[in-house]
Amino acid sequence: MTDPLSFLSGHAVQWGAVVLLMTGLYIVMTRGNLIKKVVGLNIVQTAVFLLYISIGYVEDGTAPIVLEGAARYSNPLPHVLILTAIVVSVATTSLALALIVRIREAYGSIEEDEIRERESD
Amino acid sequence: MERLHIVLLIALMIALALALVRMRNLLAIAILSGVYSLLLAAVYTLLDAVDVAFTEAAVGAGITLTLMLAALSLTTRRETRPGGRAARRVLGLAVAFAAGAALVYASFDMPALGDAAAPIHNHVADRYIAEGPRDTGVPNIVTAVLASYRGYDTLGEVTVIFTAGIGVIALLWRWRRDEP
């Protein structure tokens, strides 16, 4: 907290993840196109993943693969959790895209406003 | 120097994400989100998370992009409506900035990047690193934890993928009775 430059370099990655999360959130909330909403959701997810991985990073460490002469390894636990999360996020994305394809077949549109209009007709 | 590279790559990712907000061509959006994933994989490599990096490159950039392109070929390539009403945009901005401000405020209490004395490094991780290769015979500690120590997590992950696969088949399979 004392030295402003080290404070900045210690938290810049976290703030970058926050900005990515804000951007994704904004896309999800304001864009009506369903595919764009899925892309926004993916950005929110990747922001969380980035934050997690940055927590596991250790200065002067190496990747957590046992190596002669390596003194420090980065923390393998966040890596494991995020590995699982990435694969699950692809599964949910594929399900969302399949739903979008069906919505397009049923309503003839993937725009939220048009779907709502057709629903109220 | 490494940190500068990480921050530069994240700045590029933010620029890409902001470009995605404005873009209307869905094909370009899908491809740019693949580029975004590849940049993220590079950041993971710099953060010493090699297993996560190649998963992100293969699954995030590869499979997600393929799925997106498949979905676009079955739907449409352009966003037809302009992006939302003004009130909705203002509300979206307000919520995004409120969430961002809360998170930045919380980050002041977080340990700094790369701090070896942070609480996360002082519990179970040490044991995995010290005992993992002997317990499991796998030099890659991430693999050891994923497949051995937390094998049930991975079983749960496979269950999720299986369920999602069943869901996609149920949604997209052309049942014979539906055909004209």
Inspect the interface and report whether the beta carbons of A30 and B83 lie closer than 8 Å: yes
pLDDT 10s digits, B123-157:
888 888 888 888 888 888 888 888 888 888 889 99
Please count the structural domains in chain B.
2
Judge if B128 and B77 occupy the same domain. Answer: no
Q: Which residues of B touch A27 (CB under 8 A)?
A: 20-21
Range of the domain at B6: 1-81
Instruction: Indicate the residue among B16, B50, B81 that finishes a domain.
Output: B81
pLDDT 10s digits, B29-57:
999 999 999 999 999 999 988 999 999 99
CATH of residue B36's domain is 1.20.120.1200
Among chain A residues, the shortest Cα distance to B19 is held by: A23
Q: Which residues of A touch B164 (CB under 8 A)?
A: 91-92, 94-95
Instruction: Indicate the residue among B47, B81, B115 that finishes a domain.
Output: B81
Judge if B76 and B1 occupy the same domain. Answer: yes
- Report residue A8 as tokens: 């900045």
Q: Please give the pLDDT value at position B147.
A: 84
- Report residue A9 as tokens: 């370099």
Please count the structural domains in chain A.
1
Inspect the interface and report whether the beta carbons of A53 and B47 lie closer than 8 Å: yes
Judge if B71 and B129 occupy the same domain. Answer: no
Interface confidence, given as ipTM, is 0.90
Instruction: Indicate the residue among B81, B114, B139 that finishes a domain.
Output: B81
Q: Is residue B1 part of a domain?
A: yes
Inspect the interface and report whether the beta carbons of B20 and A93 lie closer than 8 Å: no
The three-state secondary structure class of B84 is coil
Q: Calculate the average pLDDT of chain B.
A: 86
The three-state secondary structure class of B25 is strand
* pLDDT above 60 (res A108): yes
Name which of B29, B157, B167 is nearest A87 (Cβ-Cβ): B157
Q: Is residue B104 part of a domain?
A: no
Q: Rounded to a whole number, what is the distance in Å from the CA of B134 to chain A's nearest CA?
A: 11
Q: Which residues of A touch B105 (CB under 8 A)?
A: none
Q: Is residue B73 part of a domain?
A: yes
Q: Please give the pLDDT value at position A2.
A: 59
Q: Please give the pLDDT value at position A116.
A: 85
pLDDT 10s digits, A77-96:
899 999 999 999 999 999 99
Concatenated DSSP letters for A13-28?
A: HHHHHHHHHHHHHHHH
Q: Is residue B117 part of a domain?
A: no
Range of the domain at A41: 4-120
In percent, the amount of chain A with pLDDT more than 70 equals 98
First-to-last C-alpha distance (Å) of chain B: 64
CATH of residue A85's domain is 1.10.287.3510
* pLDDT above 60 (res B180): no
Q: Rounded to a whole number, what is the distance in Å from the CA of A121 to chain B's nearest CA?
A: 19
Q: Please give the pLDDT value at position B53.
A: 93
